[in-house]
Every structure is written in structure tokens, then in C-alpha cells.
Structure 1
Amino acid sequence: MINERQSDEQLWNALREGDQDAFSALYQRFYATLYSYGYKVADNVTLVEDAIQDLFVDLWRMRRSVSGAESVKFYLFRSLRRKIHVLSKKEDGWHFVDTETHAAPESYSAEHPLMQEEEQSQLIERITYALEKLPPRQQEVIALRFYQGFKNEEIARIMGITEKSVRNTLHKALSHLREQAPFLAPLLGFLLWWFS
């Protein structure tokens, strides 16, 4: 019996044994995250949905031959990126588009909740605008690093590039953001120092 407390690895191993409930649990657990990432890689909703469906269909079909994954999330992200790449060759092209806004936790004030909400909305718009100005590769590295929490080594393996390329791309992206969004300079200065 599958429960919500089972780890990704436990579900993965149960899937490899043919457990349909484990397959369903993995699908439900990762669909939204994969969709969000996929839409950052390709701005075509149908392409992303098809890639996710193909990924899970192949996963079920090949369940007995897939190896144990040291990180299920990493395996799924890398596989989705490959699926999108293959499917996008049939399309006109693909571009990074971030339709989600990732708000910082709100601090609640009884005196000025509407003003805080408006300020936060404007800040999110400015950050989103600055991110959209980055080249697609830099946007993807930013999304994988800061939105999905992958390490540089994992990003390199997902994208099929060297770890040094990831560091350089991340550094360029953060430098570009600092130029385009001076209001983020203190935070970006720290991030540049931290990731160099």
C-alpha cells in the first residue's frame, strides 16, 4: 500500500517491481514540478504536456529495465529535458517563458496589507521582467538552480554541459541581472560571491 510518507526512492523501487500505485504516486508527486520546469524550457504547453506523458509512458513500459535512481527528481528532470529536446525538433522552436510568479513569503501587516500586496506584485513583475531579458540558457540554469534546487553538478548532467559551463552561465546570468535590476544588487552580489 502506498502512502504519502514513502520516499521517492521507495516509490521508484516499487515502480520497478510493477506497482501501479507507486507509478501513480510518482506521477502525482512530480507532475506539477515537471510541468513548471518544462514550461521554462519550452513555451509550448502542448509540447510540454506531450513530453511529460511520453516520459511517464516510457517509464511504465521500461519499468523493469530502469536502474535504481540516486535521485528520482534528477532522473525525471533530465529525462524530461531530453524528451522536450526531441519533440521540439519537430516544432518551429522553443523559448523560455516563466508564467509563474514566485513570491517571497508575505509579512502580514494589519495596517497596510493592500499596499504590501501592491509593492510585492510590482517587485515580482520587475524580477520576472529582468529574468525574461536573460538568454534562454541562462534562464534555464537560474530555474534549475534557484527554483528547483539542483546543484551545479546535477545541472551540468541535466543540460549535458560541463560543471564549469554551469558556473560560468550562472555567473553571467547573475551579473546580467545585477545590471538590469539594480534593486536586486545586494542579493545578487551575495549570490555571485557564494557561487564563484
Structure 2
Amino acid sequence: MFLNRIKSLITERQPDSILWNALKQGDRRAFAELYERYYRTLYNYGYKLMPDTALVEDAIQDLFVDLWRIQQNLGEAESVKFYLFRSLRRKIHRLAEKENRFLSVDLLTSPFRSDTTPEHQITEQEHEQQLVRQLAQALKQLPERQLEVVMLRFYENFKTGEIAAIMGITDKSVRNTLHKAMTHLRENARYLAPFLGLLLFFF
């Protein structure tokens, strides 16, 4: 047990801030760890902005090449995730020749739980899966900017100021856009009350 504890400490996930500072010192392993840690998340976000696999992959590669190239000039990053999202968005817009658009929406993790019979659990699971699909459809009907704000706020857990910096808009615009999105969902997707209740709790 003691040896297992030592092993877990050795292999413990390093905080982003530690890896970032190590990257600034030229640590290749820290660079590789950040790449592996964020590649999939960045790809998912980038593909929502521009559903072009090659373009998104090129943007991510360019982003990390730049990180390594300017490593010694990197500043402090309170949130590495925020820095990477903002940088990727800028690169995608530079690479893209047309307006960004959303063609896919990740599904929310279901908030439902059940301690009843297996048959009842199956019924509830089918019901919540239907709600998840309906929520995805409702989100796809939002204007592009509203959808991006919702995704960054509720799926990626960014704060208002961070969303504003990522998208290049003001804090007030973020709040107004989020308000419009939630109003639209309330008015046009009343059957999604279980999910909207969770979102509105944070809103």
C-alpha cells in the first residue's frame, strides 16, 4: 500500500501552472503534456467554430509551434485553458476564409439519477437521452454567437470576462448574448425544463 501511494504521488497530474512555468524554461515533457492534455478539448471547440478537420488541426499545430517558439517570452497565465482557447479562436479566424459556423453540439451530461428497479432505470435513461437530443437540437437553433457563448459558459466553465476576451467582445455583450440565448430556450423549449433549470441556476 505504501509503494502504491508513492507511485500515485509520482504520477500525480501536474497543475497547468506548473507545466506552463516548465514550458517557459524549455521543458519538452511539459510541452508534450500540455499538448496531450488539451488537444482533444481544443479540437472539439475549434470544430464547433469551423467544421473543417484539416483547418482545425492546422490551427492547433500552429498554436503549439508558436508556444514552443516563443516559450521564453511567454507571460504568466492565470488560466492556461483560457489562453489556449483564445489563441486557437484567433488562429482559426485567420486561417478561415468564411464566417465561423456551428454544425455540432456536444451533449450535456445527464443530471438524472435513479435508485429504483433496473426496468425503471432503463425507462428513465431512454427518457433522458431523448431530452439530451432535444436539447442539442434546441441549441443548434440558436444564432452562432449565442451558441458559442452558451458553450463557453456552461460546457467549458469560462467566466464572463474570459468569454469576452476569447470572443473579442465586451463583458456586457457576453451578458446580453447569454440572456438572449436563455430567453430563446425558455420560450421555445419548455419541454427541456430539467436541463434549463440547471443552466438557469448558474445564470
Same fold (TM over 0.5): yes
Question: Residues of 1 paired with 2:200 and 2:175: CA distance?
Answer: 10
Matched, 1:85 2:99: no
Question: Residues of 2 paired with 1:181 and 1:175: CA distance?
Answer: 10
Q: Deviations over 1:5-48 (max 9, x none)?
A: 31101100100111000000001111121112112222222221
Matched, 1:45 2:53: yes
Q: 1:120 aligns with which of 125, 128, 133?
A: 128
How many residues are aligned here?
192
Match of 1:67 in 2: 75
Relative distance call for 1:191 and 1:104 in structure 2 (3 A) is closer
SS in 1 for 2:164: helix
Question: Residues of 2 paired with 1:185 and 1:166: CA distance?
Answer: 23
Provide runs of 4+ in structure 1 moved above 6 Å: none
1:145 Cα offset (Å): 0.2
Match of 2:113 in 1: 107
Match of 1:150 in 2: 158
Question: Is the contact made by 2:146 and 2:181 (CA closer than 8 Å) also made in structure 1?
Answer: yes
Matched, 1:6 2:14: yes
Q: Superposition RMSD on alpha carbons, in Å?
A: 2.1
1:143 Cα offset (Å): 0.5
Q: 1:12-31, aligned counterparts within 5 Å?
A: 12-31=20-39
2:108 alignment partner AA = H
1:165 Cα offset (Å): 0.2
Identity of aligned residues (%): 57
Matched, 1:56 2:64: yes
Question: Residues of 2 paired with 1:191 and 1:58: CA distance?
Answer: 36
Question: Is the contact made by 2:51 and 2:103 (CA closer than 8 Å) also made in structure 1?
Answer: yes
Which range moves more in the overlay, 31-40 or 150-159? 31-40
1:127 Cα offset (Å): 0.1
Q: 1:139 aligns with which of 121, 136, 147?
A: 147
Matched, 1:170 2:178: yes
Which range moves more in the overlay, 103-112 or 184-193? 184-193
Question: Residues of 2 paired with 1:100 and 1:5: CA distance?
Answer: 26
Larger radius of gyration: 2
Matched, 1:98 2:83: no
Question: Is the contact made by 2:154 and 2:199 (CA closer than 8 Å) also made in structure 1?
Answer: no
Relative distance call for 1:73 and 1:103 in structure 2 (3 A) is same
Match of 2:4 in 1: none
Question: Residues of 1 paired with 2:61 and 2:100: CA distance?
Answer: 18
1:94 alignment partner AA = N
Question: Is the contact made by 1:175 and 1:192 (CA closer than 8 Å) also made in structure 2?
Answer: no
1:50 Cα offset (Å): 1.4
Extract unaligned runs of 5+ from structure 1: none
Give the TM-score of the pair, scaled to structure 2.
Answer: 0.86
Give the TM-score of the pair, scaled to structure 1.
Answer: 0.89
Which range moves more in the overlay, 94-103 or 5-14? 94-103
Question: Residues of 1 paired with 2:177 and 2:133: CA distance?
Answer: 23
